[in-house]
Chain A
Amino acid sequence: MDTDALPLGLLEPDDPEFDDTEGDATGIADQEDGGHHPRSTVVLIVFAPKELEPKRFRFRLDETVGDAAKAAAKKFEYEVGTPSFQTKDGTVLDRSVTLRAAGVHNREELELVDAGGGV
């Protein structure tokens, strides 16, 4: 499957990668799409603290963490703040780097978190 042709942003249930589990265990889909082309996009499963269910998003890997988190936050109706993603080990990703540089992998589960500083 050429994932480059698929729409970016919030995944709809009929999206071919909505329930795809190809990349979960093997990591193959981290680097390649189903046609063995290098991936230029990644599907992220994003949780928000206030919501029960996650949402799935497709982002370009050269998009910054900050831009991707802001787009995801908006879909969860967070209108303000400084959103970032927190990995399962608790690391809050640097908003200024790309998703590729941050090392996210396909179908990684991330939590939206506000990265605003103290006051």
Chain B
Amino acid sequence: MTLLPATMTRATVEAELVGARAWAARHNWALHWLPEDLVLRAATYHNPVHRLIEVMGLCDSYRALPPAWRFVSPGTDQSEKRWFPSADPGGLIFHGDGVICAPWNRLAYKEHGGPHDNWNGPASWLQVPADNTVAYTIADMLATIDSHLRKSTGMIA
């Protein structure tokens, strides 16, 4: 479902990428923006498993919809559990079924295969009650992924 023209989405993402790139430089992430595909790829090193890890965000219709974030095999579009970081028991956003479970991930919503049917759909992502993880910009989403990744001790498979 496309709600916004690609040109509008591209301009929105690129405006946010200024801050996101500065954040990435401070935290050892590499960002790669693919403007034609409206895809942002972000990679870093996952120390517990001595492995490069990459998260891919499909940003079509952003900010009418949140990006669709998923961990992929670095350099590919393949999403498998062995490329997904494990969660600690403390309630991280990395779920055992391979979903980044947060209101700012389109794939967390039931309509897109995720577990949540209680957030009124992805078009309401900015109105989800802020009693859990909150991130309203791409940089804040990446920072949240980063902070949870640092608590992750491995991969789920």
Contact = CB atoms under 8 A, between A and B. Distances in A.
Interface of A: 47-52, 80-82, 86, 90-92, 111, 113-119
Interface of B: 16, 18-20, 22-23, 26-27, 87, 90-95, 101-103, 108, 116, 130-135, 137, 139-140, 142-144, 146-148, 150
Contacts, number: 81
A90 B150 contact: yes
B12 to A, nearest CB: 13
A5 B143 CA distance: 35
B147 A49 contact: no
B43 to A, nearest CB: 16
Contacts of A82: 134
Majority secondary structure of chain A interface residues (helix, strand, loop or mixed):
loop
Closest 7 interchain pairs by CB?
Answer: A81-B134, A80-B130, A49-B139, A49-B143, A117-B91, A116-B133, A118-B93
Given A52-B19, A80-B130, A114 B140 contact: yes
Given A51-B22, A86-B147, A92-B147, 17 more contacts: A48-B19, A49-B23, A50-B23, A50-B139, A50-B140, A81-B130, A90-B146, A92-B150, A113-B144, A114-B134, A114-B140, A114-B143, A116-B133, A117-B91, A117-B133, A118-B87, A119-B102
A118 B147 contact: no
A111 to B, nearest CB: 7
A57 to B, nearest CB: 18
A52 B90 contact: no
